[in-house]
Amino acid sequence: MKRVLSSIFIAGSLLLGTVVASASYAADAPTVKPDAKKGEQLFANGDAARGILACASCHGAVGNSTIPTNPNLAAQPHEYLAKQLSDFQAKNGKVPLRRGVNGANTIMSTFAALLTSQDMQNIALFLSHQRLDYSKAPTATNKDLAEAGQKIWRAGVDDRRIPACAACHSANGAGLPGEFPRLAGQFPSYIAEQLKLFRSGDRANSDIMHDIANRMTDAEIAAVADYAAGLR
């Protein structure tokens, strides 16, 4: 992984190809075309017959959440969302790749377990077409952290080979098609928590993000999380 990170540093664009090529969600590829209408239906209403709660009850109408513990989902890339839902599931008797603090299951482990791979594709497609309402979305909360956060975002931290976040999450934080999530307008507390979960390995679904977070201090995480949330 050290080698991979060095190459991010030297050739960010080359690495993008590597990351996409190593994506593992293909195993959950749908058998039929994703259907955004069915995704909308399941997201908004759940499915009582299968015990699935309405996703919107926590993640807000069309994925615009108003509760900081529940991330915004609107306008995230289709592949990213489908991968997360799959990574919350326990597979082959193993613990899920994506877990919470100290390896505990997250609230999502329960819900994701009830979804078929077709459901995940349908919901992911629906959400990727939605708009995040930036007029109401979370933003940066701490002016004192802005300078440090901006530096990490744009240039990384050279002496510890932390790459610029902008290389993969885009300059304005909107993410990139495919596997690279949007961070702009996400809750700063959620962003910081995920970085810590990558660092501890409780969220073990991205070697790249583990390696990056593993090089970051709590102060750097707090600064860049706040800054990223405020990007537009």
For the CB of residue 31, give the shortest distance to ligand HEC in the complex, in Å.
Answer: 19
Does 52 interact with ligand HEC (rule: CB under 6 A)?
yes
For the CB of residue 101, give the shortest distance to ligand HEC in the complex, in Å.
Answer: 9
Of 51, 55, 78, whose CA–CA distance to 178 is shortest? 78
Does 167 interact with ligand HEC (rule: CB under 6 A)?
yes
For residues 202 and 186, give the distance between their C-alpha atoms in angstroms, rounded to a whole number: 21
Does 121 interact with ligand HEC (rule: CB under 6 A)?
no
In the region spanning residues 81 to 120, those forming contacts with ligand HEC, defined by CB under 6 A, are 81, 83-85, 100, 106-108, 111, 115
For residues 7 and 23, give the distance between their C-alpha atoms in angstroms, rounded to a whole number: 18
For the CB of residue 172, give the shortest distance to ligand HEC in the complex, in Å.
Answer: 14
Contact residues for 35 (Cβ-Cβ < 8 A; gap 6+)? 122, 125
Cα dist. 128→124, 142, 151, 179, 193 in Å? 6, 29, 29, 12, 23
Does 195 interact with ligand HEC (rule: CB under 6 A)?
yes
Does 174 interact with ligand HEC (rule: CB under 6 A)?
no
Report the chain's C-alpha Rg in angstroms: 17
Question: Within 13 Å of residue 158, how many CA atoms lie on the same side as its CB?
Answer: 2
In the region spanning residues 54 to 83, those forming contacts with ligand HEC, defined by CB under 6 A, are 55, 57-59, 69-71, 73, 81, 83
Structure tokens at 153: 């975002």
Cα dist. 63→116, 168, 178 in Å? 20, 22, 18
For the CB of residue 179, give the shortest distance to ligand HEC in the complex, in Å.
Answer: 4
Does 187 interact with ligand HEC (rule: CB under 6 A)?
no
Chain positions contacting ligand HEC, by CB under 6 A: 8, 15, 19, 52-53, 55, 57-59, 69-71, 73, 81, 83-85, 100, 106-108, 111, 115, 123, 152, 162-163, 165, 167-169, 179-181, 183, 191, 194-195, 205-206, 208-209, 212, 224, 228
